[in-house]
Chains A and B, each alone.
Chain A
Amino acid sequence: MTAAPAIVGLGITEVGKVYDRTARDFAADAVRRACADAGISTGELDGLLVLPGLSDDLDLGLAEDLGVRDLKLLNEIRGDGTSACTAITFACLAIGSGMAGMVACVFADAPLRRDRRAGAAYTPQEPPAGFDGLIADAGLAGGHAQYALATRRHMAAFGTTSEQLGAIAVAQRAWARGNPLAQQRDPMTLADHQNSRLIADPLRLLDCCLVSNGGIAVIVASASRARALAQPPVHVLGHAQSHPIHPEGRGSGFGLVSGAARSGPAALRMAGATIEDVGVAELYDCFTFAVLLTLEDYGFCAKGEGGPFVEEGRLLPGAGRLAVNTGGGQLSGYYLWGMTPVAEAVIQARGAGGDRQADDHELVMVSGNGGVLHHHSTLVLGA
Protein backbone atom coordinates (compact mmCIF):
# COMPACT_ATOMS: atom_id res chain seq x y z
CA MET A 1 0.00 0.00 0.00
CA THR A 2 1.41 3.33 -1.05
CA ALA A 3 2.43 5.94 1.50
CA ALA A 4 1.86 8.76 -0.96
CA PRO A 5 -0.48 11.57 0.14
CA ALA A 6 -3.96 11.34 -1.31
CA ILE A 7 -6.79 13.49 -2.57
CA VAL A 8 -9.54 12.70 -0.08
CA GLY A 9 -12.20 15.27 -0.95
CA LEU A 10 -13.59 16.94 -4.06
CA GLY A 11 -16.02 19.85 -4.14
CA ILE A 12 -17.49 21.30 -7.32
CA THR A 13 -19.91 24.23 -7.18
CA GLU A 14 -22.51 25.02 -9.80
CA VAL A 15 -20.49 25.80 -12.92
CA GLY A 16 -21.05 27.65 -16.20
CA LYS A 17 -23.37 30.58 -16.69
CA VAL A 18 -23.95 31.08 -13.00
CA TYR A 19 -24.22 34.82 -12.45
CA ASP A 20 -24.23 37.18 -9.48
CA ARG A 21 -21.75 35.23 -7.39
CA THR A 22 -18.16 36.27 -6.74
CA ALA A 23 -15.08 34.10 -7.16
CA ARG A 24 -14.55 34.28 -3.40
CA ASP A 25 -18.07 33.02 -2.79
CA PHE A 26 -17.56 30.14 -5.23
CA ALA A 27 -14.25 29.31 -3.52
CA ALA A 28 -15.75 29.10 -0.03
CA ASP A 29 -18.62 27.01 -1.40
CA ALA A 30 -16.19 24.64 -3.14
CA VAL A 31 -14.06 24.14 -0.01
CA ARG A 32 -17.13 23.40 2.13
CA ARG A 33 -18.35 20.89 -0.46
CA ALA A 34 -14.92 19.24 -0.57
CA CYS A 35 -14.80 18.94 3.21
CA ALA A 36 -18.28 17.42 3.25
CA ASP A 37 -17.21 14.99 0.51
CA ALA A 38 -14.19 13.94 2.60
CA GLY A 39 -16.30 13.62 5.74
CA ILE A 40 -14.40 16.30 7.69
CA SER A 41 -15.35 19.68 9.13
CA THR A 42 -13.72 22.80 7.72
CA GLY A 43 -12.14 23.27 11.15
CA GLU A 44 -10.01 20.18 10.54
CA LEU A 45 -8.16 21.96 7.72
CA ASP A 46 -4.71 23.17 8.69
CA GLY A 47 -3.63 24.24 5.20
CA LEU A 48 -5.25 26.28 2.45
CA LEU A 49 -3.86 27.01 -1.01
CA VAL A 50 -5.81 29.66 -2.89
CA LEU A 51 -5.73 29.63 -6.72
CA PRO A 52 -7.09 32.85 -8.23
CA GLY A 53 -8.19 33.13 -11.86
CA LEU A 54 -9.05 36.40 -13.57
CA SER A 55 -11.21 37.73 -10.72
CA ASP A 56 -9.31 39.91 -8.28
CA ASP A 57 -11.36 39.26 -5.15
CA LEU A 58 -10.01 35.81 -4.31
CA ASP A 59 -7.07 35.99 -1.91
CA LEU A 60 -5.91 34.92 1.53
CA GLY A 61 -9.04 36.46 3.01
CA LEU A 62 -10.79 33.24 2.01
CA ALA A 63 -9.52 31.67 5.26
CA GLU A 64 -11.57 34.16 7.26
CA ASP A 65 -14.61 33.57 5.04
CA LEU A 66 -14.32 29.87 5.84
CA GLY A 67 -13.89 30.51 9.55
CA VAL A 68 -10.71 28.43 9.68
CA ARG A 69 -8.08 29.56 12.19
CA ASP A 70 -4.50 28.74 13.09
CA LEU A 71 -3.59 27.44 9.65
CA LYS A 72 -0.04 26.14 9.27
CA LEU A 73 -0.03 26.73 5.52
CA LEU A 74 -1.80 29.55 3.65
CA ASN A 75 -0.68 30.85 0.27
CA GLU A 76 -1.84 31.89 -3.15
CA ILE A 77 -0.59 29.76 -6.03
CA ARG A 78 -0.42 31.54 -9.37
CA GLY A 79 0.77 29.44 -12.27
CA ASP A 80 -1.79 30.03 -15.01
CA GLY A 81 -3.11 26.64 -16.11
CA THR A 82 -0.46 24.81 -14.12
CA SER A 83 -1.66 26.08 -10.75
CA ALA A 84 -4.02 23.19 -9.91
CA CYS A 85 -1.47 20.39 -10.37
CA THR A 86 1.16 22.62 -8.77
CA ALA A 87 -0.93 23.39 -5.66
CA ILE A 88 -1.63 19.69 -5.15
CA THR A 89 2.10 19.04 -5.53
CA PHE A 90 2.94 21.62 -2.85
CA ALA A 91 0.20 20.24 -0.61
CA CYS A 92 1.81 16.81 -0.88
CA LEU A 93 5.24 18.24 -0.09
CA ALA A 94 3.86 20.12 2.95
CA ILE A 95 2.18 16.95 4.19
CA GLY A 96 5.31 14.89 3.56
CA SER A 97 7.41 17.32 5.59
CA GLY A 98 4.95 17.47 8.46
CA MET A 99 4.25 21.14 7.83
CA ALA A 100 0.53 20.48 7.47
CA GLY A 101 -1.80 17.50 7.57
CA MET A 102 -5.04 18.41 5.83
CA VAL A 103 -4.74 20.90 2.97
CA ALA A 104 -7.48 22.36 0.79
CA CYS A 105 -6.56 23.60 -2.70
CA VAL A 106 -9.23 25.75 -4.30
CA PHE A 107 -9.65 27.48 -7.64
CA ALA A 108 -12.58 29.77 -8.39
CA ASP A 109 -13.35 32.42 -10.95
CA ALA A 110 -16.28 34.47 -12.18
CA PRO A 111 -15.28 36.04 -15.52
CA LEU A 112 -18.74 35.66 -17.08
CA ARG A 113 -21.08 38.61 -16.72
CA ARG A 114 -24.57 39.11 -18.05
CA ASP A 115 -23.55 42.28 -19.86
CA ARG A 116 -20.74 41.03 -22.10
CA ARG A 117 -19.95 38.16 -24.45
CA ALA A 118 -17.95 35.23 -23.07
CA GLY A 119 -14.90 35.95 -25.23
CA ALA A 120 -14.62 39.50 -23.90
CA ALA A 121 -13.47 38.20 -20.51
CA TYR A 122 -10.23 36.91 -22.04
CA THR A 123 -9.65 39.70 -24.58
CA PRO A 124 -6.84 42.17 -23.80
CA GLN A 125 -8.14 45.68 -23.18
CA GLU A 126 -6.18 48.84 -24.05
CA PRO A 127 -3.16 48.13 -26.27
CA PRO A 128 0.13 48.58 -24.42
CA ALA A 129 3.13 50.58 -25.65
CA GLY A 130 6.48 49.39 -26.94
CA PHE A 131 7.11 45.81 -28.04
CA ASP A 132 3.81 44.59 -26.61
CA GLY A 133 2.18 47.33 -28.68
CA LEU A 134 3.70 45.85 -31.83
CA ILE A 135 2.32 42.41 -30.89
CA ALA A 136 -1.14 43.90 -30.34
CA ASP A 137 -0.93 45.85 -33.60
CA ALA A 138 -0.24 42.57 -35.41
CA GLY A 139 -3.35 41.04 -33.82
CA LEU A 140 -1.22 38.59 -31.85
CA ALA A 141 -1.89 39.63 -28.24
CA GLY A 142 -4.73 37.23 -27.47
CA GLY A 143 -4.37 33.63 -26.37
CA HIS A 144 -6.35 32.42 -29.38
CA ALA A 145 -3.92 34.10 -31.80
CA GLN A 146 -0.85 32.79 -30.00
CA TYR A 147 -2.19 29.23 -29.87
CA ALA A 148 -3.07 29.60 -33.56
CA LEU A 149 0.60 30.37 -34.27
CA ALA A 150 1.63 27.28 -32.32
CA THR A 151 -0.94 25.13 -34.12
CA ARG A 152 0.00 26.39 -37.57
CA ARG A 153 3.65 25.63 -36.90
CA HIS A 154 2.80 22.04 -35.94
CA MET A 155 0.67 21.73 -39.07
CA ALA A 156 3.52 22.99 -41.25
CA ALA A 157 6.04 20.67 -39.62
CA PHE A 158 4.00 17.46 -39.37
CA GLY A 159 0.99 17.82 -41.66
CA THR A 160 -1.50 18.05 -38.79
CA THR A 161 -4.94 19.05 -40.08
CA SER A 162 -7.96 20.99 -38.86
CA GLU A 163 -10.01 17.78 -39.27
CA GLN A 164 -7.69 16.03 -36.80
CA LEU A 165 -8.18 18.83 -34.30
CA GLY A 166 -11.90 18.51 -34.97
CA ALA A 167 -11.73 14.82 -34.05
CA ILE A 168 -10.59 15.88 -30.57
CA ALA A 169 -13.49 18.34 -30.21
CA VAL A 170 -16.00 15.73 -31.42
CA ALA A 171 -14.72 13.03 -29.07
CA GLN A 172 -14.77 15.34 -26.06
CA ARG A 173 -18.32 16.41 -26.86
CA ALA A 174 -19.30 12.74 -26.93
CA TRP A 175 -17.69 12.27 -23.49
CA ALA A 176 -19.41 15.43 -22.20
CA ARG A 177 -22.78 13.83 -22.85
CA GLY A 178 -22.07 11.60 -19.85
CA ASN A 179 -21.18 14.54 -17.59
CA PRO A 180 -24.19 16.22 -15.93
CA LEU A 181 -22.06 19.31 -15.19
CA ALA A 182 -20.94 19.82 -18.81
CA GLN A 183 -22.00 23.14 -20.37
CA GLN A 184 -22.15 21.77 -23.94
CA ARG A 185 -23.89 18.41 -24.35
CA ASP A 186 -25.57 18.62 -27.76
CA PRO A 187 -24.11 16.11 -30.25
CA MET A 188 -21.28 17.46 -32.43
CA THR A 189 -20.12 16.11 -35.79
CA LEU A 190 -16.87 16.74 -37.61
CA ALA A 191 -18.90 18.81 -40.07
CA ASP A 192 -20.12 20.97 -37.19
CA HIS A 193 -16.51 21.59 -36.26
CA GLN A 194 -15.46 22.35 -39.82
CA ASN A 195 -18.43 24.69 -40.28
CA SER A 196 -17.80 26.61 -37.06
CA ARG A 197 -16.38 30.04 -37.76
CA LEU A 198 -12.67 30.72 -37.90
CA ILE A 199 -11.54 32.65 -34.83
CA ALA A 200 -7.81 32.73 -35.50
CA ASP A 201 -7.02 30.58 -38.52
CA PRO A 202 -6.42 27.63 -38.20
CA LEU A 203 -8.40 27.62 -34.95
CA ARG A 204 -12.18 27.53 -35.23
CA LEU A 205 -14.78 28.32 -32.60
CA LEU A 206 -15.09 24.63 -31.71
CA ASP A 207 -11.31 24.41 -31.15
CA CYS A 208 -11.64 26.87 -28.27
CA CYS A 209 -12.51 26.21 -24.64
CA LEU A 210 -15.58 27.59 -22.90
CA VAL A 211 -15.66 30.42 -20.38
CA SER A 212 -17.16 29.43 -17.03
CA ASN A 213 -17.97 30.72 -13.59
CA GLY A 214 -17.57 28.38 -10.62
CA GLY A 215 -15.17 26.85 -8.15
CA ILE A 216 -13.50 23.51 -7.44
CA ALA A 217 -11.65 22.40 -4.33
CA VAL A 218 -9.74 19.27 -3.44
CA ILE A 219 -8.55 18.16 0.00
CA VAL A 220 -5.13 16.51 0.30
CA ALA A 221 -4.19 14.39 3.34
CA SER A 222 -1.54 11.87 4.34
CA ALA A 223 -2.03 8.25 3.28
CA SER A 224 -2.68 7.17 6.86
CA ARG A 225 -5.36 9.80 7.49
CA ALA A 226 -6.85 9.19 4.04
CA ARG A 227 -7.72 5.60 4.94
CA ALA A 228 -10.07 6.71 7.71
CA LEU A 229 -12.08 9.20 5.62
CA ALA A 230 -15.31 8.94 3.65
CA GLN A 231 -14.02 8.52 0.09
CA PRO A 232 -11.66 6.03 -1.51
CA PRO A 233 -8.25 7.78 -1.44
CA VAL A 234 -6.79 8.93 -4.74
CA HIS A 235 -3.05 8.86 -4.17
CA VAL A 236 -0.71 11.39 -5.75
CA LEU A 237 1.87 8.89 -6.98
CA GLY A 238 3.88 11.25 -9.16
CA HIS A 239 4.26 14.94 -9.83
CA ALA A 240 6.54 17.14 -11.93
CA GLN A 241 6.78 20.46 -13.71
CA SER A 242 8.70 21.69 -16.74
CA HIS A 243 9.08 25.19 -18.12
CA PRO A 244 11.03 25.11 -21.38
CA ILE A 245 10.67 28.88 -22.15
CA HIS A 246 11.59 28.44 -25.80
CA PRO A 247 13.86 31.25 -27.06
CA GLU A 248 12.34 33.37 -29.81
CA GLY A 249 14.74 32.38 -32.53
CA ARG A 250 16.11 29.74 -34.89
CA GLY A 251 15.72 26.21 -33.57
CA SER A 252 12.90 27.13 -31.17
CA GLY A 253 10.55 24.32 -30.24
CA PHE A 254 7.54 26.66 -30.04
CA GLY A 255 4.47 24.78 -31.30
CA LEU A 256 6.45 21.58 -31.76
CA VAL A 257 7.15 20.47 -28.18
CA SER A 258 5.99 21.67 -24.75
CA GLY A 259 7.05 21.20 -21.14
CA ALA A 260 4.93 18.05 -21.18
CA ALA A 261 7.81 16.24 -22.86
CA ARG A 262 9.85 16.39 -19.64
CA SER A 263 7.16 16.82 -17.02
CA GLY A 264 5.18 13.73 -18.09
CA PRO A 265 8.02 11.20 -18.06
CA ALA A 266 9.37 12.66 -14.78
CA ALA A 267 6.00 12.28 -13.05
CA LEU A 268 5.64 8.72 -14.37
CA ARG A 269 9.14 7.82 -13.14
CA MET A 270 8.25 9.10 -9.67
CA ALA A 271 5.13 6.92 -9.77
CA GLY A 272 7.18 3.91 -10.88
CA ALA A 273 4.98 3.62 -13.94
CA THR A 274 5.26 3.81 -17.72
CA ILE A 275 3.02 5.45 -20.27
CA GLU A 276 1.57 2.03 -21.16
CA ASP A 277 0.19 1.77 -17.61
CA VAL A 278 -1.98 4.88 -18.00
CA GLY A 279 -5.66 4.17 -18.64
CA VAL A 280 -7.08 7.68 -18.29
CA ALA A 281 -5.55 10.99 -19.35
CA GLU A 282 -7.16 14.26 -18.31
CA LEU A 283 -5.32 16.82 -20.42
CA TYR A 284 -5.50 20.60 -20.19
CA ASP A 285 -7.41 21.65 -23.29
CA CYS A 286 -7.68 25.42 -23.59
CA PHE A 287 -7.59 24.62 -27.32
CA THR A 288 -7.85 21.28 -29.15
CA PHE A 289 -4.22 21.61 -30.17
CA ALA A 290 -3.04 21.50 -26.54
CA VAL A 291 -4.50 17.99 -26.26
CA LEU A 292 -2.78 16.81 -29.43
CA LEU A 293 0.61 18.20 -28.40
CA THR A 294 0.36 16.81 -24.86
CA LEU A 295 -0.53 13.34 -26.17
CA GLU A 296 2.66 13.45 -28.25
CA ASP A 297 4.85 14.93 -25.54
CA TYR A 298 3.68 12.47 -22.87
CA GLY A 299 4.54 9.66 -25.28
CA PHE A 300 1.08 8.20 -25.98
CA CYS A 301 2.23 8.45 -29.62
CA ALA A 302 5.42 9.47 -31.41
CA LYS A 303 6.34 13.12 -31.99
CA GLY A 304 4.45 14.45 -34.98
CA GLU A 305 1.92 11.59 -34.97
CA GLY A 306 -0.68 13.26 -32.76
CA GLY A 307 -2.88 13.92 -35.78
CA PRO A 308 -3.17 10.30 -36.95
CA PHE A 309 -3.42 9.20 -33.28
CA VAL A 310 -6.63 11.15 -32.67
CA GLU A 311 -8.37 10.88 -36.06
CA GLU A 312 -11.09 8.45 -37.15
CA GLY A 313 -12.81 8.54 -33.79
CA ARG A 314 -9.97 6.99 -31.80
CA LEU A 315 -10.69 9.24 -28.82
CA LEU A 316 -14.45 8.54 -28.76
CA PRO A 317 -15.81 6.87 -25.61
CA GLY A 318 -15.11 3.14 -25.74
CA ALA A 319 -12.93 3.37 -28.86
CA GLY A 320 -9.67 2.38 -27.23
CA ARG A 321 -8.08 1.44 -23.92
CA LEU A 322 -6.89 5.00 -23.28
CA ALA A 323 -9.71 7.35 -22.22
CA VAL A 324 -8.96 11.05 -22.77
CA ASN A 325 -10.82 14.03 -21.25
CA THR A 326 -13.72 11.92 -20.10
CA GLY A 327 -15.79 14.80 -18.73
CA GLY A 328 -15.69 16.77 -21.96
CA GLY A 329 -12.73 18.79 -20.75
CA GLN A 330 -12.59 22.56 -21.03
CA LEU A 331 -13.86 22.39 -24.61
CA SER A 332 -17.29 20.95 -23.81
CA GLY A 333 -17.39 20.53 -20.03
CA TYR A 334 -16.44 23.70 -18.20
CA TYR A 335 -13.38 25.92 -17.98
CA LEU A 336 -12.06 26.20 -14.45
CA TRP A 337 -8.43 26.24 -15.57
CA GLY A 338 -6.33 23.35 -14.22
CA MET A 339 -9.05 22.17 -11.86
CA THR A 340 -11.16 20.95 -14.80
CA PRO A 341 -8.82 18.03 -15.58
CA VAL A 342 -7.99 17.49 -11.87
CA ALA A 343 -11.64 17.14 -10.83
CA GLU A 344 -12.41 14.67 -13.62
CA ALA A 345 -9.26 12.69 -12.78
CA VAL A 346 -10.39 12.30 -9.16
CA ILE A 347 -13.85 11.19 -10.30
CA GLN A 348 -12.39 8.63 -12.70
CA ALA A 349 -9.77 7.35 -10.25
CA ARG A 350 -12.54 6.75 -7.70
CA GLY A 351 -14.55 4.85 -10.28
CA ALA A 352 -17.36 7.36 -9.77
CA GLY A 353 -17.75 8.41 -13.40
CA GLY A 354 -21.16 6.83 -13.90
CA ASP A 355 -22.12 6.81 -17.59
CA ARG A 356 -18.68 8.07 -18.54
CA GLN A 357 -16.55 5.85 -16.27
CA ALA A 358 -13.45 4.49 -18.01
CA ASP A 359 -12.86 0.75 -17.55
CA ASP A 360 -9.15 1.01 -16.83
CA HIS A 361 -8.79 3.75 -14.22
CA GLU A 362 -6.01 2.35 -12.06
CA LEU A 363 -3.58 5.05 -13.19
CA VAL A 364 -4.75 8.51 -14.23
CA MET A 365 -2.49 11.17 -15.72
CA VAL A 366 -3.40 14.86 -15.35
CA SER A 367 -1.84 17.82 -17.12
CA GLY A 368 -1.76 21.53 -16.47
CA ASN A 369 -0.58 23.94 -19.14
CA GLY A 370 0.10 27.63 -18.76
CA GLY A 371 1.15 30.60 -20.81
CA VAL A 372 1.22 29.60 -24.45
CA LEU A 373 2.63 26.12 -23.89
CA HIS A 374 5.39 27.73 -21.81
CA HIS A 375 4.57 26.04 -18.51
CA HIS A 376 3.57 22.49 -17.70
CA SER A 377 2.69 20.47 -14.62
CA THR A 378 1.74 16.81 -14.33
CA LEU A 379 0.15 14.57 -11.72
CA VAL A 380 -0.04 10.79 -11.78
CA LEU A 381 -2.94 9.61 -9.65
CA GLY A 382 -3.84 6.10 -8.54
CA ALA A 383 -6.13 4.29 -6.16
Chain B
Amino acid sequence: MVLRDDRSAPFFDAARRAELVVRHCTGCGELAAPRVRACPTCSATALDWAPVSGAGTLVSWTVLRDRAGGVTAVGGIVELAEGPWLRVRLAADPETLEAGLAVAVAFEHQDDGEPVPVFVPRERAEEGVDGRR
Protein backbone atom coordinates (compact mmCIF):
# COMPACT_ATOMS: atom_id res chain seq x y z
CA MET B 1 0.00 0.00 0.00
CA VAL B 2 1.35 3.42 -0.97
CA LEU B 3 0.28 6.51 0.95
CA ARG B 4 0.50 10.11 -0.20
CA ASP B 5 2.38 12.92 1.50
CA ASP B 6 2.11 16.65 0.86
CA ARG B 7 4.70 16.68 -1.87
CA SER B 8 3.19 13.78 -3.83
CA ALA B 9 -0.46 14.83 -3.41
CA PRO B 10 -0.82 16.40 -6.90
CA PHE B 11 0.77 13.30 -8.45
CA PHE B 12 -1.72 10.98 -6.77
CA ASP B 13 -4.66 13.31 -7.45
CA ALA B 14 -3.78 12.92 -11.15
CA ALA B 15 -3.32 9.17 -10.74
CA ARG B 16 -6.88 8.96 -9.38
CA ARG B 17 -7.97 10.44 -12.72
CA ALA B 18 -5.80 7.78 -14.45
CA GLU B 19 -3.45 10.56 -15.54
CA LEU B 20 0.33 10.38 -15.27
CA VAL B 21 2.00 13.71 -14.48
CA VAL B 22 5.64 14.83 -14.19
CA ARG B 23 7.31 18.08 -13.13
CA HIS B 24 7.47 20.94 -15.64
CA CYS B 25 10.00 23.71 -15.13
CA THR B 26 8.36 27.11 -15.52
CA GLY B 27 11.82 28.58 -16.10
CA CYS B 28 13.32 26.54 -18.94
CA GLY B 29 10.30 24.46 -19.94
CA GLU B 30 12.03 21.09 -19.46
CA LEU B 31 10.19 18.11 -17.98
CA ALA B 32 11.63 16.19 -15.03
CA ALA B 33 10.86 13.18 -12.87
CA PRO B 34 7.97 13.68 -10.39
CA ARG B 35 10.23 13.48 -7.32
CA VAL B 36 12.67 16.31 -8.14
CA ARG B 37 12.75 19.44 -5.97
CA ALA B 38 14.71 21.52 -8.46
CA CYS B 39 14.97 21.44 -12.25
CA PRO B 40 17.94 19.22 -13.18
CA THR B 41 18.46 21.33 -16.31
CA CYS B 42 18.44 24.90 -14.91
CA SER B 43 18.19 24.42 -11.10
CA ALA B 44 15.00 26.52 -10.89
CA THR B 45 12.57 25.58 -8.15
CA ALA B 46 9.39 26.99 -9.71
CA LEU B 47 7.97 23.68 -10.95
CA ASP B 48 4.42 22.82 -11.89
CA TRP B 49 2.89 19.59 -13.13
CA ALA B 50 2.36 18.44 -16.71
CA PRO B 51 0.52 15.39 -18.03
CA VAL B 52 2.44 12.89 -20.15
CA SER B 53 1.29 10.14 -22.50
CA GLY B 54 2.23 7.27 -20.22
CA ALA B 55 4.19 5.59 -23.02
CA GLY B 56 7.85 4.81 -22.55
CA THR B 57 10.68 2.36 -22.99
CA LEU B 58 12.44 0.13 -20.50
CA VAL B 59 15.93 1.34 -19.52
CA SER B 60 16.80 -1.26 -16.88
CA TRP B 61 15.12 -3.73 -14.57
CA THR B 62 15.65 -6.15 -11.74
CA VAL B 63 13.83 -9.21 -10.42
CA LEU B 64 13.94 -9.53 -6.64
CA ARG B 65 13.84 -12.99 -5.14
CA ASP B 66 13.44 -14.45 -1.66
CA ARG B 67 15.71 -17.09 -0.17
CA ALA B 68 13.64 -19.87 -1.78
CA GLY B 69 14.03 -18.28 -5.21
CA GLY B 70 10.48 -16.98 -5.44
CA VAL B 71 9.95 -13.67 -7.24
CA THR B 72 9.00 -10.95 -4.73
CA ALA B 73 9.08 -7.91 -7.03
CA VAL B 74 9.84 -6.89 -10.59
CA GLY B 75 10.89 -3.26 -10.85
CA GLY B 76 12.65 -1.10 -13.37
CA ILE B 77 13.50 2.27 -14.80
CA VAL B 78 11.16 3.49 -17.53
CA GLU B 79 12.10 6.37 -19.81
CA LEU B 80 8.91 8.19 -20.68
CA ALA B 81 8.45 9.23 -24.32
CA GLU B 82 8.78 12.82 -23.05
CA GLY B 83 12.19 12.09 -21.45
CA PRO B 84 11.91 11.79 -17.65
CA TRP B 85 12.64 8.49 -15.90
CA LEU B 86 10.38 6.70 -13.44
CA ARG B 87 11.45 3.92 -11.08
CA VAL B 88 8.39 1.74 -11.06
CA ARG B 89 6.85 -1.68 -10.70
CA LEU B 90 6.65 -3.73 -13.89
CA ALA B 91 3.71 -6.04 -14.57
CA ALA B 92 5.40 -8.37 -17.01
CA ASP B 93 6.91 -11.83 -17.31
CA PRO B 94 10.55 -11.28 -16.24
CA GLU B 95 11.72 -13.45 -19.15
CA THR B 96 10.28 -10.99 -21.66
CA LEU B 97 12.06 -7.91 -20.33
CA GLU B 98 14.75 -6.27 -22.44
CA ALA B 99 16.27 -2.82 -22.83
CA GLY B 100 14.16 -0.66 -25.11
CA LEU B 101 10.98 -2.68 -24.56
CA ALA B 102 7.93 -0.51 -25.28
CA VAL B 103 5.83 -0.11 -22.15
CA ALA B 104 2.84 1.93 -21.05
CA VAL B 105 1.39 2.99 -17.74
CA ALA B 106 -1.61 1.35 -16.12
CA PHE B 107 -2.87 2.39 -12.71
CA GLU B 108 -3.27 -0.36 -10.19
CA HIS B 109 -6.00 0.46 -7.70
CA GLN B 110 -5.41 -0.72 -4.17
CA ASP B 111 -8.03 -0.97 -1.44
CA ASP B 112 -6.65 1.52 1.04
CA GLY B 113 -3.73 3.27 -0.64
CA GLU B 114 -3.20 5.49 -3.64
CA PRO B 115 -3.38 4.20 -7.22
CA VAL B 116 0.07 2.91 -8.20
CA PRO B 117 1.47 3.52 -11.69
CA VAL B 118 2.57 0.15 -13.04
CA PHE B 119 4.16 -0.32 -16.44
CA VAL B 120 3.17 -3.13 -18.78
CA PRO B 121 4.52 -4.17 -22.18
CA ARG B 122 2.73 -1.98 -24.72
CA GLU B 123 0.99 -4.80 -26.61
CA ARG B 124 -0.61 -5.77 -23.29
CA ALA B 125 -1.36 -2.23 -22.23
CA GLU B 126 -4.71 -2.08 -24.03
CA GLU B 127 -6.03 -4.74 -21.69
CA GLY B 128 -4.97 -2.87 -18.53
CA VAL B 129 -3.59 -4.52 -15.42
CA ASP B 130 -6.79 -4.79 -13.49
CA GLY B 131 -9.36 -4.09 -16.19
CA ARG B 132 -9.16 -0.30 -15.96
CA ARG B 133 -6.77 2.36 -17.08
Contacts and interface: CB of A to CB of B under 8 A. Distances in A.
Contacts of B62: 139-140, 145, 148-149, 152, 200-203
Interface in A127-173: 127, 129-131, 133-140, 145, 148-150, 152-153, 156-157
Interface string B89-119: 1100010001100000000000000001100
Interface size class of B (residues with CB under 8 A): 35 or more
Majority SS at the chain B contact face: strand
Given A130-B7, A134-B117, A249-B85, A139 B65 contact: no
Contacts of B87: 134-135, 138, 140, 149, 248
Interface of B: 2-5, 7-8, 11, 31-36, 40-41, 59-65, 67, 69, 72-77, 79, 83-85, 87-90, 94, 98-99, 116-117
Contacts of B67: 197
Q: Is the interface of A mostly helix, strand, loop or mixed?
A: mixed
Nearest to B117: A134
A66 B83 CA distance: 54
Contact of B79 (A127, A200, A203, A249): A249
A198 interface: yes
A129 B8 CA distance: 9
Interface of A: 127, 129-131, 133-140, 145, 148-150, 152-153, 156-157, 197-203, 247-250, 252, 254-255
Contacts of B88: 134, 138
Nearest to B6: A130
B69 to A, nearest CB: 6
A38 B8 CA distance: 54
Contacts of A199: 64-65
Given A149-B75, A152-B62, A248-B85, 10 more contacts: A129-B4, A152-B61, A153-B77, A156-B60, A156-B98, A198-B69, A201-B94, A248-B32, A250-B79, A252-B85
Given A156-B60, A249-B40, A129 B3 contact: yes
B64 A200 contact: yes
Contacts of A201: 62-65, 94
B34 A131 contact: yes
B55 to A, nearest CB: 14
A156 B62 CA distance: 12
20 contacts: A129-B5, A130-B4, A131-B8, A134-B116, A134-B117, A135-B87, A138-B73, A138-B89, A145-B75, A152-B60, A197-B69, A198-B69, A199-B64, A201-B62, A201-B63, A201-B64, A247-B41, A249-B31, A250-B84, A255-B60
